[in-house]
């Protein structure tokens, strides 16, 4: 069920990410309403997930009551490893969210595969006489050898905790990472700047602050943003990703955080091939470390 919660989160982010709110600019912009937004991934030890939405117009009236109509179904989707092929099944959640993953029949029969580090995986989508393809690799994950926390007083609260992990980067240049956090039984969320490379840290072992990822639909609190709380159980996942996967999220997050009518626009770097499509097909190496935050002044 954790993956389904992640689908809710990423689906909402994907839709919002391609909305511009300014309606009075006199610009000659191309019509992007027919573009398809694909987000798919396969994690080490897990089955693939794919979902698709339609882009929204850059200028014009947006009715959020109609957002559920932007999820796209009716596609034939296959994922191929180096020696196996799996046909994904379409699922509809709450009559709104459409996604694709391994079928129940294949799960029952064992006719499926999960992601393995070091392997390439090919995505193929056939829909409306269009073919969309993508390729990704699951890199070997980097080791996280320790996790710890300290406390900060913010306002009247002195038990807000910052999480740190020690990262050991490989001694070959060209590694890319994305991190997620999970607080207690909440869904797992990426940080607001969730990706980084090893240009400055190649081959080094170093401590790194880990911002708490939060649901963007939650009310924003400047005092507690990025912090955890005393009593929390925290999981940190640092995933190795390939360069194309990194480029997508790096440009996506830069674009999402631009803000303001006069800010620059970053073109999101899709790694998919096909007509009228943007998005990502990415692999995740898996490395997770956990701790429970204990405040010494607790009763």
Comparing 125 with 259, the larger pLDDT belongs to 125
- If one compares 284 and 264, the residue with the highest pLDDT of the two is 284
CA distances from 121 to 9, 79, 85, 222, 242 (A): 24, 7, 10, 40, 12
Residue of 115, 109, 146 whose CA lies nearest to 49: 115
Phi, psi for residue 70 in degrees, rounded to 5: -90, -10
Q: Does residue 152 contact residue 162 with C-beta atoms inside 8 Å?
A: yes
CB proximity list for 142: less than 8 A, separation 6 or greater: 167, 168, 169, 170, 175, 177, 238, 240, 285, 287
- What's residue 211's pLDDT? 94
Q: Burial-class residue 259 by CB neighbours within 10 Å (0-12, 13-18, 19+).
A: exposed
Alpha carbon 132 to its chain's center: 20
Helix orientation angle between 243-256 and 2-17, rounded to the nearest 10 degrees = 60
Looking at residue 17, its pLDDT comes to: 46
pLDDT tens, residue by residue, 153-176: 887 777 899 999 999 988 888 899
Q: Over range 8-22, report the average pLDDT.
A: 44
233 and 292 in contact (C-beta within 8 Å)?
Answer: yes
Q: Which residue has the tokens 């987000």?
A: 39
What percentage of the chain carries pLDDT values higher than 90? 58
Q: What is the pLDDT of residues 212-235, one digit of tens each?
A: 999 888 888 888 889 999 999 999
Residue with tokens 């997770």: 288
Q: Report d(CA 35, CA 213) in Å as an integer.
A: 29
Give the tokens for residue 24: 């009075």
Beta-carbon-side half-sphere exposure of residue 17 (alpha carbons within 13 Å): 26
Q: Which of 80, 37, 101 is nearest to 280 (CA)?
A: 37
**Among the listed residues 23, 30, 22, 24, the one whose alpha carbon sits nearest the alpha carbon of residue 278:** 30
* Distance, CA of 1 to CA of 239 (rounded, Å): 20
Q: Order across the sheet with 277-284: list the strands.
A: 89-93, 97-101, 49-54, 36-43, 277-284
Cβ proximity of 60 and 83 under 8 Å: no
Q: Is the pLDDT confidence value at 89 over 50?
A: yes
pTM over 0.85? The answer is no
- Domains of the chain are 2-139+242-284 (no CATH), 144-239+287-292 (2.60.40)
Q: What is the pLDDT of residues 62-82, one digit of tens each?
A: 444 455 567 899 999 999 998
In this prediction, residues 14-20 reach a mean pLDDT of: 43
Question: Do the beta carbons of residue 77 and residue 279 sit within 8 Å?
Answer: no
Query: Which phi and psi angles does 193 have, rounded to 5°?
Result: -120, 85
């Amino acid at each position: 069920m954790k993956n389904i919660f992640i689908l809710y989160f990423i689906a909402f982010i994907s839709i919002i990410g391609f909305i511009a709110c300014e309606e009075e600019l006199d610009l000659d912009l191309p019509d992007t309403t027919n573009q398809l937004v694909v987000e798919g991934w396969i994690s080490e030890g897990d089955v693939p997930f794919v979902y698709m939405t339609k882009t929204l117009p850059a200028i014009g009236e947006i009715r959020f009551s109609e957002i559920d109509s932007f999820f796209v179904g009716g596609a034939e989707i296959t994922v191929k490893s180096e020696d196996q092929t799996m046909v994904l099944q379409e699922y509809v959640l709450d009559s709104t969210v459409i996604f694709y993953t391994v079928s129940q029949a294949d799960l029952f029969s064992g006719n499926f595969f999960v992601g393995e580090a070091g392997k390439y995986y090919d995505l193929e989508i056939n829909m409306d006489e269009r073919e969309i393809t993508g390729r990704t690799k699951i890199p070997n994950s980097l080791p996280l050898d320790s996790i710890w926390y300290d406390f900060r007083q913010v306002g009247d609260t002195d038990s807000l905790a910052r999480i740190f992990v020690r990262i050991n980067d490989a001694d070959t240049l060209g590694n890319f990472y994305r991190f997620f956090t999970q607080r207690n039984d909440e869904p797992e969320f990426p940080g607001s700047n969730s990706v980084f490379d090893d240009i400055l840290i190649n081959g080094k072992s170093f401590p790194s602050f880990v911002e708490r990822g939060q649901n963007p639909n939650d009310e924003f609190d400047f005092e507690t943003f990025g912090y955890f709380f005393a009593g929390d159980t925290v999981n940190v996942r640092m995933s190795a990703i390939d360069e194309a996967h990194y480029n997508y999220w790096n440009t996506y997050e830069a674009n999402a955080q631009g803000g303001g009518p006069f800010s620059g626009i970053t073109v999101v770097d899709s790694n998919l091939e096909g007509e009228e499509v943007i998005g990502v097909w990415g692999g995740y190496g898996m490395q997770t470390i956990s701790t429970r935050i204990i405040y010494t002044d607790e009763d």
